[in-house]
Structure 1
Amino acid sequence: MRATLRWAHSDLRTHRGEALFLVLATAGIVVSLLLAAALFGYATNPWQRVFAQAHGAHVTLHTTGTADAGKLARLDGVDDVAGPYPTSSLTVASRGSRASVELRGTPERPDVGRPLITSGKWLDAATPDGVVLESRLARALLAAPGDTLTVPGTARTLTVIGIADSAEPRYRPGEQPGLVWALPSAVAEPAGQVIGLRLTDPADTEYTVQRAVTVLGAGAIGEVATWQQARAEAQNDNRLLGQVLGLFGLGALVAAGFAVHGAIGTRIRGHLRDIAILKAIGFTPGQVVRVFLMQHLGYALLGAVAGAVLMEALGSGIPGRLGDAVAVWQGLPGQTVTLFAVPVAAVLFIGATTGLAAWRAGRVPPVPVPRPAAPPAGRLTGVARRALGMRVPPALVLGWRKAFTRRPRSLGTVARLALPLLLIVVAMSAWTTLDRFHSEPDRMGLPTALSVRADATLGEKETRALLENDPQVASAYPGTEVAALVPGQTATIALRGLGTGQEPYPFTLAEGRTARGPDEAVAGQGLLDLLHVQVGDWVRMTVGDRPQILHIVGRSIEPENAGRVISTSLDTLRANDPTLRPTLYQVRLEPGADPQAVADRLTSEGLGHLDVHTVTNPADGLSPLRAVVLGLIAVLALIGLIELLTAIGGMVREGERDLLALKAIGLSPRQITAMTVTAMACTAMAAVLAAMILGLPLARWLIDAQGRSSGIGTGIAQGPPALFLLGLTVAAVLGAAALAALPAARAARRRLADTLSAVA
Structure 2
Amino acid sequence: MRAMGRWMRADLRAHRGEALFLVLATAGIIVSLLLSGAFLAYGASPWQRVFTESNGAHVWIQTTADADAGALAGLDGVESASRPFSTASASVELDGTRARIQLRGAGPTPPEVARPLVTDGRWLKDDDSAGAAVGAAAGKGRASAGTSGEHRAGAKAADGVVLESSVARALWAEPGDVLHVSGPDGSVHNLRVTGVAETAEEHYSPGRTPGVGWVLPKALQRVAPESDQLEQIIGLRLDDPEDTDFAVQRAVTELGDDQIVTVSTWQQARHDAEGGGRLLGLLLGLFGLSALLAASLAVAGAISTRIRGHLRDIAILKAIGFTPGQLIRTFLLEHTALGLLGVACGALLTETLGPRMPGRLGEAMRLWQALPAHAWVPLAIPLGALLLITGTTALAAWRVGRVSPVPVARPATPAVRRMPGTVRRALGLRLPPALVLGWRGAFHSRARSCAAVARLAVPLLLITVVLGAWTTLDRLEHNPEKAGIPAALTVRGDGLDDDAVRRMLTDRPEVSAAYPGAEAKALVPGQTSTITLRGLGKDRDPYPLTIPEGRAPHRSHEAVAGQGLLDLLHVKVGDWVRVTVGGDPQVLHIVGRSIEPEDDGRVLSTTLDTLRDGGVAPHPGFYHLVLDEDADPAAVAAGLSSAADGRLDVREIPNPVHELSAVRGVLGGLVTVLALIGLAELSTTIAAGVRDRRRDLLALKAIGLTPRQIIAVIVAGTGFTALAAALVGTPVGVLVSGWLIDLQGRSSGIGAGIAQQPPLTALFVLVGAVVLGAVAVSLLPASRAVRQRLADTLGDSL
Structure-1-length-normalised TM-score? 0.94
Q: Contact 1:237/1:622 (CA < 8 Å) preserved in 2?
A: yes
Instruction: Say if 2:522 is the partner of 1:484.
Output: yes
Letter of the 1:167 partner, please give it. Answer: A
Instruction: Say if 2:760 is the partner of 1:759.
Output: no
My pick for the range that moved more, 439-448 or 172-181, is 172-181
Partner of 2:401: 362
Letter of the 2:112 partner, please give it. Answer: D
Instruction: Say if 2:738 is the partner of 1:700.
Output: yes
Aligned counterpart in structure 2 of residue 178 of structure 1, from 211, 220, 224 = 211
Partner of 2:133: none
Task: Structure 2: state its 5+ residue gaps.
Answer: 129-157
Residue deviations 1:303-333, cap 9 Å, x none? 1122222333333333333333333333333
Aligned counterpart in structure 2 of residue 438 of structure 1, from 466, 471, 477 = 477
Structure 1 distance, partners of 2:676, 2:214, is 54
Q: 1:129 to 1:757 in 2, by over 3 A?
A: farther
Letter of the 1:303 partner, please give it. Answer: G
Structure 2 distance, partners of 1:578, 1:368, is 87
Structure 1 distance, partners of 2:559, 2:325, is 71
Structure 2 distance, partners of 1:294, 1:279, is 18
Letter of the 2:679 partner, please give it. Answer: L
Residue deviations 1:81-126, cap 9 Å, x none? 23323333214335x7554333333233222211112233222445
Structure 1 distance, partners of 2:776, 2:181, is 68
Residue deviations 1:565-603, cap 9 Å, x none? 111111112222297111111111111212222122222
Displacement after TM superposition at 1:48 (Å): 2.4
Displacement after TM superposition at 1:26 (Å): 1.4
Residue deviations 1:457-479, cap 9 Å, x none? 21221111111111111101111
Structure 1 distance, partners of 2:749, 2:317, is 62
Displacement after TM superposition at 1:372 (Å): 4.6
Structure-2-length-normalised TM-score? 0.90
Aligned counterpart in structure 2 of residue 245 of structure 1, from 275, 278, 284 = 284
Displacement after TM superposition at 1:156 (Å): 6.1
Structure 2 distance, partners of 1:551, 1:28, is 51
Structure 1 distance, partners of 2:353, 2:192, is 40
Aligned counterpart in structure 1 of residue 624 of structure 2, from 561, 586, 598 = 586
Letter of the 2:211 partner, please give it. Answer: G
Partner of 1:553: 591
Displacement after TM superposition at 1:503 (Å): 0.7
My pick for the range that moved more, 324-333 or 487-496, is 324-333
Structure 1 distance, partners of 2:415, 2:467, is 40
Letter of the 2:195 partner, please give it. Answer: G
Instruction: Say if 2:56 is the partner of 1:56.
Output: yes
> Match of 1:658, SS?
helix
Residue deviations 1:655-692, cap 9 Å, x none? 21111211222222111111111111111111111112
Partner of 1:137: 167
Residue deviations 1:398-451, cap 9 Å, x none? 111111111110111111111111111112211211112112211221111111
Displacement after TM superposition at 1:374 (Å): 7.0
Residue deviations 1:219-247, cap 9 Å, x none? 54432212221122223522222221221
Structure 2 distance, partners of 1:379, 1:149, is 91
Structure 2 distance, partners of 1:568, 1:680, is 59
Structure 2 distance, partners of 1:467, 1:279, is 87
Q: Contact 2:550/2:573 (CA < 8 Å) preserved in 1?
A: yes
Aligned counterpart in structure 1 of residue 223 of structure 2, from 160, 174, 189 = 189
Structure 2 distance, partners of 1:579, 1:313, is 56
Aligned counterpart in structure 2 of residue 447 of structure 1, from 474, 481, 486 = 486
Instruction: Say if 2:341 is the partner of 1:266.
Output: no
Structure 1 distance, partners of 2:302, 2:331, is 11
Partner of 2:386: 347
Alignment of 1:91-110 (within 5 A): 91-93=92-94, 98-108=98-108, 109-110=110-111
> Match of 1:448, SS?
coil
Q: Quote the sequence identity (%).
A: 57
Residue deviations 1:453-504, cap 9 Å, x none? 222x212211111111111111011111101111111111111111112211
> Match of 2:344, SS?
helix
Displacement after TM superposition at 1:45 (Å): 2.9
Instruction: Say if 2:37 is the partner of 1:29.
Output: no
Displacement after TM superposition at 1:627 (Å): 2.1
Structure 2 distance, partners of 1:347, 1:60, is 45
Structure 1 distance, partners of 2:214, 2:415, is 82
Alignment of 1:87-166 (within 5 A): 87-93=88-94, 98-108=98-108, 109-127=110-128, 128-147=158-177, 149=179, 158-166=191-199
Displacement after TM superposition at 1:71 (Å): 4.5
Letter of the 2:58 partner, please give it. Answer: H
Instruction: Say if 2:687 is the partner of 1:637.
Output: no
Q: Contact 1:88/1:104 (CA < 8 Å) preserved in 2?
A: no
Letter of the 1:165 partner, please give it. Answer: E
Q: 1:413 to 1:171 in 2, by over 3 A?
A: same
Structure 2 distance, partners of 1:365, 1:14, is 24
Displacement after TM superposition at 1:208 (Å): 3.6
Task: Structure 1: state its 5+ residue gaps.
Answer: none
Aligned length: 757
My pick for the range that moved more, 242-251 or 214-223, is 214-223
Displacement after TM superposition at 1:604 (Å): 2.0
My pick for the range that moved more, 432-441 or 413-422, is 432-441
Structure 2 distance, partners of 1:631, 1:148, is 49
My pick for the range that moved more, 76-85 or 335-344, is 76-85
Q: 1:97 to 1:30 in 2, by over 3 A?
A: farther
> Match of 1:591, SS?
coil
Partner of 1:710: 748
Alignment of 1:297-336 (within 5 A): 297-336=336-375
Name the Cα RMSD after superposition: 2.4
Structure 2 distance, partners of 1:260, 1:372, is 31
Displacement after TM superposition at 1:215 (Å): 5.2
Displacement after TM superposition at 1:158 (Å): 4.7
Structure 1 distance, partners of 2:65, 2:626, is 36
